[in-house]
Amino acid sequence: MPPPTMARGVALALAAAVAFGATTPVVKWATGYVGTFGVVALLYGGAAASSLVLRTLGRSGDALRRADVPRVIAIALAGGAIAPALYAWGLARTTATTGSLLLNLEATFTIALAAALYRERINRRVALAVLAMTAGGVALVLDAARATSFAVEGVVAIIGATAGWALDNALARPLAERDPLAVVAAKGTIGAALSLGALAIAGESAPPLGPALALVACGATGYGLSLRLYLLAQRAIGAGRTGSVFAIAPFVGAAIAIALGDRALGAWTAAAAALFTIGVVLHATEPR
């Protein structure tokens, strides 16, 4: 039997992965009723509100400083406005299964940016993982090219979104000692405000109450609560093990989408899922 601390940490990491992964099918459904910028504003408004509430339970780092403001604004533009807008737009034009699996590419782009910006070394195992995940992304693009039910541009937009979130990760690295919930609250507030402005300019109509509440709940659970659970898991089992467990999040979203009737699991999608699985396993089993 695993030690209680280990079991608790794994359970927290699993809960964080489920909370995040389960949002994709819901967001996909909501894009049928809410415009692109409305989706982003509601998601990140929910994330900001949740993070502010969860911070009352305790901080996990230093407070943000005035010198951090330019970096936080850049993070909000990349990860709180542009990336989620691409994600929502793309998800409306593809399937929830495909959108969930493509989220694996965020790790690939993050590794590439870490190597370029911070000179982090990419060993052979990581290179093979990146290659497998990239091949998985190519398989999904090819699947979109041959399918009639969704468009290549939707897949490309989601790939762009994962690149934007990877840039967010890279820009946030110097804020590692800051309270993550404070960073999410700031990013969410700025991202939601920018999206509301874009919504007004684009002339998007007000969303129906049901989808709007669902998106706020997704933001609160998938971005705010999920981060809180992730941090608690890190304290119990460390960053490496937590990251390995959390890597199942995209597969959680894909599994839920299929269970809800998404019939996107053709040969190319299955091949992509296998390639992404190989990449995740290579990362998860890398010596730390």
The two structure tokens encoding residue 171: 């820009």
Residue of 109, 246, 98, 219 lying closest to 158 (CA atoms): 98
pTM above 0.85, yes or no: yes
What's the rounded Cα separation, in Å, for the pair 24 and 99?
Answer: 7
Q: Where are the domains of the chain?
A: 4-284
Give the contacts of 249 (CB within 8 A, at least 6 positions apart): 16, 17, 18, 20, 21, 103
Q: Note down pLDDT in tens along the chain; length 288 residues.
A: 556 777 888 899 899 999 999 999 999 999 999 999 999 999 999 999 999 998 888 777 788 999 999 999 999 999 999 999 999 999 999 989 999 999 989 888 988 888 888 887 888 888 898 899 899 988 888 877 776 556 789 999 999 999 999 999 888 888 878 888 899 999 999 999 999 999 999 999 989 999 999 999 999 999 889 988 988 888 788 766 777 788 888 999 998 988 888 766 677 888 888 999 998 888 777 665
Distance CA 215, CA 34 (A): 9
- Of 106, 42, 48, 43, the closest CA to residue 250 belongs to 106
What distance in Å separates the CA atoms of residue 172 and residue 197, rounded to the nearest whole number? 24
